[in-house]
Amino acid sequence: MKAISVKKILSRHETILFIILIALAIAGEILNPAFLSQANVFKTLKSSVEMGIFALAFLVLLILGGIDMSFPAIASASMYITIKLLLPIDGDIPLIVPFIMSMGLGALFGAINGVLIGFMGLPTLLVTLGTMSVIKGFLLVFVGKNWITQLPDVLIRFSRLNIFETTGGSGEVVGLHVSVLILAAVAIIVALMLRYTYFGRRIYAIGGNEVSARRDGIGCRSVKFVACVLSGLLAGLAGLIHCSLVRVANPFDILGTELNVIAAVVLGGASLVGGAGTVLGTLLGVLLINLVNNSLILMGIPSYWQDFMVGLIVILSTTITANKTSLKVLLKRNKACMEVR
């Protein structure tokens, strides 16, 4: 029994990803001794926060069987509107206020998607492409290049807030940013929701077979609506964290990050046809994408090769996932045929 359990663990997609991560880290350290330095590890974790939260937002709708392309636009609009509303306020405000505002705006944008996708039955990809274009066009018309370079003091203090700090080998101060804890908390909440709640089980059921889910009495419309709201809420959170860390409210620098997020989620084992995907696999996919990009930078390879590598990862991951899905379908059909005989 122990041998079987070990075999199952070793054959899991997450275990394979973890082994690849270890191998990549060792190779990076051999090529560049600074790869596994404390400063670089902390920077990699910090840079993974935004993508990680985006990936979790994308994962929820992908398990449902839909591809969301609007999360960067929702994040951009939510954080920019939040900053614009906070700037005229005199005096200090609690840190929770801007986060609640940005997450609330993200949830509102997500609710618009939810009405169109859940209650009107429109395809997720087309709806979110439309939402993305509308929000992007709105930002271009009414914002343009009016970036906000002076953020509220509360967000400046948040950008400097580290869990702990230490001195690196070259004398610089190295810190692990508190946003890493936010990502960990979000990941735990989403994982518990997907695995242990009735709502999470309904998400997998709808993504696996929506027709069967409806026959079982699952309210597919309400589940899709709530999932879109949750995705928008997480996008608003990621947008404000990004704005705080770069200390500039630029609504256009988040746009165009879709490919990296999709690559991370698909690499993490999520199926593009829905019904499969885990939080752990998604986070490992995010780390792997960031490690690949980081290693290319440390080796002095031009940045356009990062897009090449990410695109290649998307193609390979999609091919592997598609083959696994086809194999599972074939096995189910063979089993059904045997039962009939």
**Contact yes or no for 284/268 (Cβ under 8 A):** yes
Q: For 31-53, what is each residue's pLDDT tens digit?
A: 777 777 777 788 888 888 999 99
Whether 235 shows a pLDDT value over 90: the answer reads yes
Q: Which residue has the tokens 């019904």?
A: 275
Q: For 258-272, what is each residue's pLDDT tens digit?
A: 888 888 898 888 888
| Residue 323 banded pLDDT, cuts 50, 70, 90 | low
54 closest CA partner among 201, 259, 191, 251 = 259
Least confident of 89-93, 146-150, 162-166, 328-332: 328-332
Q: Which two tokens stand for residue 333?
A: 């059909």
What per-residue confidence (pLDDT) applies to 332?
43
244 closest CA partner among 102, 136, 132, 85 = 102
Eight-state DSSP code of residue 98: H
Winning range, highest mean pLDDT, from 60-74, 163-177, 210-224 = 60-74
Q: For 147-204, what is each residue's pLDDT tens digit?
A: 888 888 888 889 888 887 776 666 666 778 899 999 999 999 999 999 999 898 999 9
Distance between CA atoms of residues 3 and 172, nearest Å: 48
67 closest CA partner among 119, 133, 113, 134 = 113
Q: Any idea how long the chain is? A: 341
Burial 200-214 (b: 16+ CB within 10 A, else e): bebbbbbbbebeebe
What per-residue confidence (pLDDT) applies to 256?
78
**Contact yes or no for 15/9 (Cβ under 8 A):** yes
What per-residue confidence (pLDDT) applies to 303?
63
What per-residue confidence (pLDDT) applies to 336?
38
For the stretch 127-131, contacts whose Cβ atoms lie closer than 8 Å and that sit 24 or more positions apart, written own/partner, are 127/70, 128/66, 128/67, 128/68, 128/69, 128/70, 128/71, 129/69, 129/70, 131/70, 131/73, 131/74
**Contact yes or no for 62/203 (Cβ under 8 A):** no
Winning range, highest mean pLDDT, from 4-8, 171-175, 211-215, 299-303 = 211-215
117 closest CA partner among 221, 211, 213 = 221
More confident residue, 219 or 28: 219
Residue 248 burial (10 A CB sphere; 0-12, 13-18, 19+): middle
| Residue 127 banded pLDDT, cuts 50, 70, 90 | very high
What are the structural domains of the chain?
12-340 (1.10.3470)
